[in-house]
Amino acid sequence: MSGVPSMLCAILILSVSTTTVRAGLKCDAVRPYFESQGFPASDIPKEAISSKELKICGSVRSGGEVCCSADMEVRLQARARDKHEKATKETLHRLHQVLSTRGARFHNFFKDLLAASKKGFHEMFKSTYGILYEQNAYVFTDLFNELENYYAKGTVDLDDAMDNFFNTLYQKMFTVLNSQYKFNNKYLECVGDHMKEMRPFGDVPQKLGIQIKRSFVATRAFGQALTVAADILKNMQSLKPSADCAAALTKMTVCPSCSGITGNVLACGDMCANVMKGCLAQHAALDAEWNHFVEAVDKVADRLLGPFNIEMLVRPINLKISEAIMNFQENSHDVSQRVFTGCGRPVLGRRRRRDNRELELETLNFDQETSTDDRAPTAAILDKLVKEIRQRVRDSRQFWVYLPYKLCNDGLVVPPSNTKECWNGTHVDKYIYPVSSNGETQILNPEVRSSGPRPTIVRDQIFALTTITNRLKSAFNGQDVDWIDTEETEWNGSGSGSGDSTDQDNTTTDDEDGFKEGSGYEPKLSPPETPKQSPPAVHPEAVPPRVDVDPKISTSNNNNNSNSTSTADSGATRQKMSLSRALMTYLVPIVVMWFGGCFTEWL
């Protein structure tokens, strides 16, 4: 019987020796991988070592032995964290580039639109009114400067700007039409005080003021929204992975090699989803507000394609102001008499003899009011640009809750056909844990449970989203927006500051722009759809999951686009002016003024 124990001992020793040899073979097999990661041969264990030295990969099923040292594990963990951080940054950067590029294109288009309108206004009024316009051109230039400053900085009160413009224009025209009298500043102040009650320009100031306010507020809100969204995506790139996240990433991507597993064995899809949801829990905190933001941008885009179309307003602004001037001229005698009654009869004054050349008219050019050829290309560009931006923003809905799946699809998970031959965190087999729910709370996440309080940078981005969304809602409803916190950078401000207040006063309805009060902003965004709890892993080159647009929303948007087109067409028709009316507008008043000047000289 004594030979039996000896035989058993020999078998046990042989078995241990075989295990050691096999472990050594495993390390030889993974050595090329570690060398490709930059580890010198001297740092790579030649034979398997005890897994007790490792903090993360020590719990894997490898017989208590691994092929990487504690120092290697630390360095591999840092690389896994850096790789994840880089992949997250690249994904956020791509969407950042999409929004910032479209935002810059929108800003530049609007800048060029205002510049072209300003130039066309100057050329038409100069050719029509000649020196009379040139002597008072600063009145109109100041108006355009105020509009440019509003879009660039948001620090201009549009109501005050329009009131000041028409008040100054009123005084200038009153002086010209009553050139036989001498007016001092006190008398002109009295003239200005009587403007609103006399309504010398008809209803043009009121209607134009409403249109400018709605269009400029909506246009600026739309442009600022793109800037804010791009800034948020840029700022979120600075968020660092937590220690628990780094450990989970190491367990998912590094431990297979430390266990001596060779080949392209990737993580199980459900494991990757849990790891990424835990690592990106703070990113998911933006999802709800981001979806509200997407809906708000979508609604304002509809306004810009319809009643708040800035191109339809800015391009023919010269005609609208000309209509106001014509109204004044038609009622100039009655207006003058009422002013004389209220302010007193002014003193007659001798004026210098005019050089007749001052009143010579250049060839009248009515191309801007009789032709839409110049408008068509820019209108098509604006509509196309707004629609493209709207679609890009729509595509980003639920971006933050789908971000974990996007990163898992980019080469981290096993193909769907090999779901039982994937790394589950301890060995190659099926992953047994359920996929955690979406969102910021990951208490039940089996891979990364700790989330902690929101970092300051996350709170700031959520606040920025809430602020710009509220501004978009106000712009959609035709209300004013307070941009007091906006950085005063030319043509590109940043709306990601703090504070927001809106003017809740109702504005007067302008029937011509197709806008109806009461069609207010009523968010109907339902909670984001939850991706399947166990989404099948996809091939690394497969396209990440996208959120399908609700057919009802698509139908509604198509209808809105149709209505916008009809509104734009009707608006273009309204801009046309017959030649006879144009002659009455520009030529007759000049002739009347000329005869009046001659009569004054005869006195």
Query: What's the pLDDT at 535?
Result: 41
Q: Is 412 helix (H, G, I), strand (E, B) or coil?
A: coil
Taking residue 381's Cβ as centre, other Cβ atoms within 10 Å add up to 15
For residue 65, the cross-strand partners are: 50
pLDDT greater than 50 at residue 171:
yes
Q: What is the dihedral of CA 390, 392, 394, 400, to 10 degrees?
A: -140
Query: What's the pLDDT at 418?
Result: 67
To which residue do tokens 């509009």 refer? 147
Query: What's the pLDDT at 339?
Result: 87
Distance CA 68, CA 46 (A): 9
Across 94-129, b (16+ Cβ under 10 Å) vs e yields ebbebbbebbbebbebbbebbeebbebbbebbbbbb
User: Nearest 5°: CA angle at 310, between 328 and 99?
Assistant: 160
pLDDT digit string, tens, across residues 530-577: 444 334 333 333 333 433 333 333 333 444 444 444 443 434 333 434
Against a cut of 0.95, is the pTM above it?
no
To which residue do tokens 């209509």 refer? 323
Query: Mean pLDDT over residues 584-596, rounded?
Result: 43
pLDDT greater than 50 at residue 143:
yes
Contact 240, 84 (CB under 8 A): no
Query: Mean pLDDT over residues 219-228, rounded?
Result: 95
pLDDT digit string, tens, across residues 363-400: 333 333 333 344 445 667 888 999 999 999 999 999 99
Q: Is 485 helix (H, G, I), strand (E, B) or coil?
A: coil
